[in-house]
Amino acid sequence: MGASFDIVIVGAGHAGAQAAIALRQNGFAGSIAMIGDEPDLPYERPPLSKDYLSRDKPFERILLRPAGFWHERAVTMLLGERVETVDAARHLVTRRDGETIGYGTLIWATGGAPRRLTCPGHDLARVHSVRTRADVDQMMAELDDVTRVAVIGGGYIGMEAAAVLTKLGKSVTLIEALDRVLARVAGEPVSRFFEREHRAHGVDVRLGCAVACIEGKAGAASGVRLADGEVVPCDMVIVGIGIIPAVAPLEAAGARCGNGVIVDGSCRTILPDVYAIGDCAAHSNRYADGAVIRLESVQNANDQAGTVARAILGSTDAYDAVPWFWSNQFDLKLQTVGLSTGHDQVVIRGDPATRAFSALYLKDGCVTAIDAINSVKDYVQGRALVMARARIDPARLADTDTPLKALLTG
C-alpha cells in the first residue's frame, strides 16, 4: 500500500480547498492530503466565464491560495491524480495508476462533470464546456480564428460566456431549449430583463429551440442544426447545460446516491468516516422547505467545508446557511439570496428600465428569495427577510422609499 493520511480530500476545487483551510483554522494537526485530477492548485471557478475568459485576470490571480500557503500548512497536494475507487471497509482510495492511499477520514469534494450533448457532432473540435481552466485555455487559444459563436444553454454560465464573447467582438447566438433564459434559477421578470439586455448588446437569443446536431467541416464545428432544420452557422460552440455530480466511485462503494451523494446535516454519507461537500453533495436544505437538493455555488462549497471541518473536530452543528449566488453579465451584477424555486408571487422593486432593481420572491406570502440587479443595498438588506421568511405586504416590499431593512421590524 502507498501512503496513508488522517484526512484525504478527493477533489482540489473550492470545497476541498476550503475544507483543508477550515481544518487547519480549527486546529486540526493531523496529516491532510488533497487529491485532484486537474494539474493546478485549487483555483476560483467563477472567473472562468467572466474575467478569466475576458483576459482581465491572469491565472495566478484566480488561485484560491498561493503554493506556499499549502506548504506552510502541511497540506500534501497530489495533483493530476484521479481517484477511481473507494474501499470503505478498508479505508482506502485507489488512484488511476493503481496506487492506493489510506485514510482515517475521507472528504469527497469532486464537484461535477459538465453535461455533454449526445447529438451527432457533439465530439467535434471547437465544441467546448466551461468547467476547468483547461477548457477555457483551449477556447482562448482558438478565439483569434473565431468570429461566430453558438452558445447552447441559457443558464448562468452560457449567459456569462455570451456576454464576455460579445464584448470581445464575437457574434454570438444563444440557443435555449426552454421559453426563457435563466429559467431554473430566476423568475420570469428577471429572465425577460436579461433576455432584453443580451439582445440590446447584440446577442441573438433563440428561445424554445432544440438542438438536432452539430455540423462540422474538417473535423471542427461549423454550425448548430436546430430541430426545425435551421442551421446557425458558427466557428465555435459553447455548451452550458449543467453538470453531472462526480460520485460514481462513492456510489460503487455503497454510498446512497440520487442526484449527487446524499449527506446528513453534518455532510456525512452513510459510509463510515466518509463525508461529501460542495456541488456533488445532495442535502436537505431548509431554504428549499427541507427538500434534498444540490447547490452549485461557492457559498455552499465554502459553508459545507466549514461544517465538515467542525464535524470532524466533534461539533454537531448542522449545515444551515442561507444560499447566495452572483452572476456578472455586461455591466450587470446579479446577486441572489435564498431559493426562488416554487415561488407563487414576484414583487418588482424599482424600475427595470433603470437597470437597477430587485425581484422579491414570495411563497404563501413569505419572502423566500431576492434577485438584486445592480442593487447591492437590497441584496444586503434583504438577506434578513429571506432568513426570517418574513411575511410582508407586497406593496411595502415594492416601495423603494422604504429600505428593506426597515421592513423586518416594522
Nearer to ligand FAD, 279 or 371 (CB): 279
329 scored as a contact of ligand FAD (CB under 6 A): no
14 scored as a contact of ligand FAD (CB under 6 A): yes
Instruction: Report residue 196 CA to chain centroid gap.
Output: 24
The residues that bridge with 226 in the sheet, in sequence order, are: 211
275 scored as a contact of ligand FAD (CB under 6 A): no
45 scored as a contact of ligand FAD (CB under 6 A): yes
Q: How far is the CB of 54 from ligand FAD (least distance, A)?
A: 12
| Angle in degrees, CA 76, 82, 85, rounded to 5 | 105
15 scored as a contact of ligand FAD (CB under 6 A): yes
Q: Which stretch binds ligand FAD (CB under 6 A): 186-194, 296-304, 311-319, 338-346?
A: 296-304
Q: How far is the CB of 397 from ligand FAD (least distance, A)?
A: 25
Taking residue 313's Cβ as centre, other Cβ atoms within 10 Å add up to 12
Q: Which of residues 135-194 bind ligand FAD (CB under 6 A)?
A: 157
Q: Which residue has the cell 435564498?
A: 338
Task: Please select the residue that binds ligand FAD; options are 23, 77, 257, 301, rule is CB under 6 A.
Answer: 301
Task: Please select the residue that binds ligand FAD; options are 5, 9, 16, 282, rule is CB under 6 A.
Answer: 16
Rounded to an integer, what distance in angstroms lies between the CA atom of residue 204 and that of residue 119?
22
Nearer to ligand FAD, 297 or 340 (CB): 297
Q: Which of residues 215-274 bind ligand FAD (CB under 6 A)?
A: 246, 249
Amino acid at 360: L
Q: How far is the CB of 227 from ligand FAD (least distance, A)?
A: 27
Nearer to ligand FAD, 175 or 392 (CB): 175
13 scored as a contact of ligand FAD (CB under 6 A): yes
Nearer to ligand FAD, 12 or 359 (CB): 12
Q: Which of residues 335-374 bind ligand FAD (CB under 6 A)?
A: none
Rounded to an integer, what distance in angstroms lies between the CA atom of residue 253 and that of residue 267?
17
Amino acid at 102: G
- Residue with nearest beta carbon to ligand FAD: 13
Q: Which stretch binds ligand FAD (CB under 6 A): 7-15, 25-33, 178-186, 374-382?
A: 7-15
303 scored as a contact of ligand FAD (CB under 6 A): no
Footprint on this chain of ligand FAD (rule: CB under 6 A): 10-16, 35-38, 45-46, 48-49, 82-83, 109-111, 130-131, 157, 246, 249, 278-280, 296-299, 301, 325-327
